[in-house]
Amino acid sequence: MAKQIHPLQIVVAVGLLLVAGCDWLRPGGPPDEAYFEITTEDVSQLTVVISQNFYRFQDESCIEEPDCPVHLVLDEADTIVVSAPYSSTIEFTDRHQLFIETHPLDEVEAEVGMTVEIDGRDWYEDLRLLSPENENGERDTLRFLYQYRERNTGAP
C-alpha cells in the first residue's frame, strides 16, 4: 500500500528547499572559481602578481569628486615568474575577489594578452603592447581586478 503524502508535507518541503537552496534558485550568486590565461609571443617569461586579499579606497579629501583616484592595497600577494603562455585556475575564498597583474620579466617592449573566465563565463579579454620601465620607475602592466558584491534583493 502506497503511503499518502499530506499537502502540508509538500509545503514544508518546498519551504525548506527555498530557504536552503536560495543561492541555487537565484541566478548568479558568489562565484566558485576563475580561470585565466596570459599569452605572448614576444618574450619567454612573465612576472605575475596574484592576490585575493586586497582592498580599495579613495582619499577622504576628494571622495565626492568624480575624478577622485581609487587606491589599491594588496594585503597578501604571490609574485611568480612564469613561462609564456601561462594559465591557472583559482578557487575563490570567502572574499570573492581577485587581482591579477602581469608584465614581461625583462625590460623589453612586448605584446601581452590576458583572458579571464569566472565560473566558465568569459569575463575579461585584453591584448596590449606593454612598455618597459621608464625613468620614473613606472612600467606598463596588464591588470585584472574583480570583486563580487551581492545585490540586496531582500531574497534569502
CA-nearest of 132, 120, 130, 153 to 23 is 153
pLDDT average, residue stretch 136-145: 92
Specify the 3-state DSSP secondary structure of 61.
helix
Beta bridge partners of 56: 72
CA-nearest of 79, 124, 127 to 105 is 79
Residue 62's pLDDT is 82
pTM assigned to the model: 0.74
Residue 61's pLDDT is 83
The larger pLDDT score, comparing residue 66 to residue 3, is at: 66
Hey, where are the domains in the chain?
30-147
Residue 28's pLDDT is 67
Compute the Cα dihedral for 90, 147, 118, 130 and give only its sign.
negative
Q: Residues 108, 41: contact at Cβ < 8 Å? A: no
CATH topology of domain 30-147: Lipoxygenase-1 (2.60.60)
